[in-house]
A and B are shown apart, each in its own frame.
Chain A
């Protein structure tokens, strides 16, 4: 079963739960109008996913999540990313989903966990990507909590989500990056002149 078809299946399943999700206590506090619009985005996202239009579906789910930050939406976002063959991004989203508190009636966690493991295994075998890290004006680079070298630095990094940090002596600034297989990405952690003046005080 491909990731895309699985995504479709999950999307269809989740679409039936939309009303329930939007009525949950965490959501109730939201503005009624926002909820209504989130539901509309959700619905359109499911329709697009059903039609294998994953890019449009992802946009709709992201719009829905922007309005109502519900874990279920994250799950659908991850599935749309799988559909778009962006496993590193999907893994990052699934990790966020799984990091959310378990909610009553959320039956997708087990499936999400399985997908995460599958994605991790797949990314471990995929060719790495290239990450260029610039600390401005200068500094050390940390990758996933380990010192990687002095800026500017170009590294071959396994595809997947990573945490890049920079600083003079310690990790002062960080950024989460998602690197797809074979992709090149540049991360700039910059201190402005104002930052430098403030820090020196």
Chain B
């Protein structure tokens, strides 16, 4: 009975220690990936070619293998750029014919005197589609349909005696479609007069737009309408366009070969506003499947440094990696915000390296090696550096090691008492007392070993050096752990219940049973084996959670462990 109770307790302790060690090792390992995220920009003159795509895929793979570099995912990049007006290429620019049909139906409503219906429906159409359609670049037909819808609402308001709102709406029509010229065939003279009055009565605001960059043949769109067609920004400097508009909110877009970013501005009455649009940067940027691509300067000239400052600001990152595709080589560069500077602005080149594109078969490992060198501080070897043990790491390792050493001291005491028991007859007055003391020592040794092993496994993540994969010695440690664990389990099963028959020590004719002295050592080996196994396991978890967009988390409860993998979409 005593033996059974003791064995059950040992089993519970051991299992708890193992689970605890594993949980701590896993959960703390994932924190490795939560460093500040950086952005990677591919700079290529012709990013669409197969060679460029291959090279960029290799760069991406090399970055993915670096556990110490965390990159923003494509979704995060696109979302942050969108906040600054970026639009994915190929987005539909117009809503199509349905807007024209809506306008026709609204005309019918207002012509037949259904004023309330016309106002309600028109307001909904303008709210739902007005600014959105305009921001994406409205065709002439769409703009006309929107202007007509807006003026039908004015007419309905006026007809039902709501003159104040009609004038306000007329001003809004003028703002929504700045180049609005209403058709006298569709709109009564009194509505056209109201529109003209709205324009003349509002204190106009001047908008100066400077188009900078080297992209030619750009069209400046205000509210999606072409206002200054074929404006060609000068190669050095900029070109000004001045517009006089009704005060209010506007969207600007410089469309060149492709639609540019959509810039939201607000004009105050009587206050001039100057907006600079870098057409080259906007035209060059796109979020491709492989990552953020800057299809512009192949050689990353100094003129682009300012652009990367701006880009870092848009991407909300202090670290920008660039991979510039040049003939026969890839130039890697790491730019970081200078001390005291928050992006945007103030990016400085921290390190750079050139990697030959050939041979392609070894491009990824060579890129990885180059990245290792670039992430080093000055003077360090271009290999992954061990993280220095912090105060918590040192304390944890010391505690764990101390506990393991203590477990062996307790085991020695256990063995000494066990040896003394061998010399005692069962009916000796001291036998029972020594047996209890021996068992307490055994229990203490196992607990100390379990706690020490769990602590060491937990601390592994703090002191294990960074590595591209799992180093050989980690495998060795894992092997040793397996052997120790295996020996422990076999010994436990083989000797835990085994009977030691001390001939001559028993009363005549009886068989004496006492648990073997191997028992404490077996669970100790199991727990320490688990600690050794945690080393390769830690590396495995690190490599599994290497991608900045992914996260591993561990849940323990109800005697079960759960490993949870989820993809992160932002807030890095």
Contacts and interface: CB of A to CB of B under 8 A. Distances in A.
B154 to A, nearest CB: 13
A154 to B, nearest CB: 8
Contact of A152 (B112, B185, B186, B187): B112
B186 A137 contact: yes
A137 B107 contact: yes
A150 B112 CA distance: 12
Contacts of B494: none
A199 to B, nearest CB: 7
B111 A151 contact: yes
B118 to A, nearest CB: 12
Contacts of A199: 185
Interface string B179-195: 00000011110000000
A196 B186 CA distance: 8
Interface string B85-126: 000000000000000000000011001110000000000000
Contacts of A135: 111
Tell me what chain B mostly uses at the interface: helix, strand, loop, or mixed.
loop
Contacts of B107: 137
Interface string A128-158: 0000001111100000000000111010000
A9 to B, nearest CB: 46
Contacts, number: 28
A191 B188 CA distance: 14
A137 B104 CA distance: 10
Contacts of A134: 111-113
Nearest to B115: A152
A16 interface: no
Nearest to B107: A137
Contact of B185 (A150, A151, A154, A196): A196
A2 interface: no
Nearest to B190: A150
B187 A138 contact: yes
Contacts of B185: 137, 191, 196, 199-200
A135 B185 CA distance: 12
B481 to A, nearest CB: 84
B188 A138 contact: yes
Nearest to A186: B112
Contacts of A151: 111
A199 B184 CA distance: 11
Contacts of B111: 134-138, 151-152
Contacts of A138: 111, 155, 186-188
B108, B112, B155, B187: which has the most chain A beta carbons within 10 Å? B112
Nearest to A153: B113
B144 to A, nearest CB: 13
A185 to B, nearest CB: 14
A134 B114 CA distance: 12
Interface in B358-413: none
Contacts of B188: 138, 150
Interface of B: 107-108, 111-113, 155, 185-188
15 contacts: A134-B112, A134-B113, A135-B111, A136-B112, A137-B107, A137-B185, A137-B186, A137-B187, A138-B155, A138-B187, A152-B111, A152-B112, A152-B113, A196-B186, A200-B185
Report the 9 A-B pairs with minimum CB-CB distance, sorted nearest first: A152-B113, A196-B185, A138-B188, A136-B111, A137-B186, A137-B111, A134-B112, A137-B107, A200-B185
